[in-house]
Structure 1
Amino acid sequence: MKTVFLTLILGLVCAAQEAQAELDPSQITGDWHSVLSAADNKEKIEEGGPLRAYVRHLKCSDSCSELSIEFYVKFPEKCILLNVVAERDEDVYHVTYMGSNFFELIPVSENALAIYGENFDGEETTKVTQLLAKGDSVTQEESQQYEELNKERGIPPENTEDLTETDDCPK
């Protein structure tokens, strides 16, 4: 009986450690800047690509059950400001933009946030990530954590774009 009880306790402890931490709205809400982006289909995030976005502001509402995202897209050279609201179901957000998108927020540090998403455009699914910073850049450690995320999700390192080189949209 003691063995069963200890096994149950050990299982509960392990499950509690694996559970994803609840998002803290105060860490998410605020001004952000897109630094890096990567995708398994690089064409989607290259200049002029439909998933190339320059994030400016995130706002959590209702304990982050809704997430407002303010970002710019450039078509072809003109910056267009967009705002979408994503709804959270469990740990995954859903929003309609250039198809159907499911994504998760992955805190990297106090000043960096990664986004991993999957976009279905009606024909194919594209895995895409972005690394956001509260400033204009990230540390080497934050960049390495982002590279590891991409590796885990099957996105090759050569498919990473530095968005700071082409971000000339209003701050």
Structure 2
Amino acid sequence: ATKGVLPPLQLCNFFSSFFFAHHFLHFLLLIFISSQFVGRWYPLLLASNDLESNSAAFIHSIDVKVNSLIFYFTLRTNGECKQVAVFANKLENNKYKLRYPGNNILYVEDADPNDYLLIYTTNKIHGKETKGVELYSRQKGEIVNQEIKKKFEEMYKSYGIKKENVLDLTKTDPCERSLE
């Protein structure tokens, strides 16, 4: 063998070990980053281009499983609230595909895992697309700083959502009692 050159079999083993280690570290990093969002979240402000869907569903907690997140949503239908677990597979850095009827995509637009979560969602079903911008806090009814609130306002406007389609849940959460 030539000095300093690995034989083909050793070279193949080296690259497969490197490939495995790289992907394993990436997998651990994804779990670490995702696990920062685990726990209780309180809805503050919800905006949607479909007023009916605005108060119909919101996140109340997040959990992490192997290669996906689990969003625990509270669904409000005909004045009644129920909890639903929805699995989400990570597609890109901040993009998740929810396993729920329709083509549901959730984007984590901005976050401080100890303070707030700002997300954008789209759902395409039966030829209709619903867009939503949602702001959550770790603290019940607590508005995050004004800079984050301004970012929320800029986001919903950039998606063509009207101010009258913003629901403020800082004072009242219609499904709060069902979570106790």
Alignment TM class, shorter chain as reference: 0.7 to 0.9
Aligned residues: CA RMSD: 2.2
The partner residue of 1:68 within 67, 70, 80 is 70
Give the AA of the match of 1:95.
L
Decide which moves more: 137-146 or 76-85. Answer: 137-146
- Residue 33 of structure 2 corresponds to residue 24 of structure 1: yes
- Residue 129 of structure 2 corresponds to residue 125 of structure 1: yes
Deviations 1:84-124 (A, max 9, x none): 10111113211133422011112343411011011112221
Distance 1:74 1:118 in 2: 18
Give the alignment's TM-score, normalised by structure 1.
Answer: 0.72
The partner residue of 2:53 within 44, 54, 77 is 44
Equivalent residue for 2:89?
Answer: 87
Equivalent residue for 1:162?
Answer: 168
Describe the SS at the equivalent of 1:28: coil
Distance 1:56 1:44 in 2: 16
In the TM superposition, what is the alpha-carbon distance from 1:132 to its structure 2 partner? Answer: 1.0
Change (3 A) 1:26 1:107: farther
Does structure 2 retain, via aligned residues, the 8 Å contact 1:116–1:130? Answer: yes
Tell me which structure has the larger Cα radius of gyration. Answer: 2
In the TM superposition, what is the alpha-carbon distance from 1:26 to its structure 2 partner? Answer: 4.1
Distance 1:75 1:28 in 2: 27
Equivalent residue for 2:20?
Answer: none
- Residue 107 of structure 2 corresponds to residue 104 of structure 1: yes
- Number of equivalenced pairs: 143
Any unmatched runs of 5+ in structure 1?
A: 1-21, 47-51
Give the alignment's TM-score, normalised by structure 2.
Answer: 0.69
Distance 1:163 1:97 in 2: 24
Does structure 1 retain, via aligned residues, the 8 Å contact 2:74–2:175? Answer: no
Any unmatched runs of 5+ in structure 2?
A: 1-29
In the TM superposition, what is the alpha-carbon distance from 1:27 to its structure 2 partner? Answer: 2.8
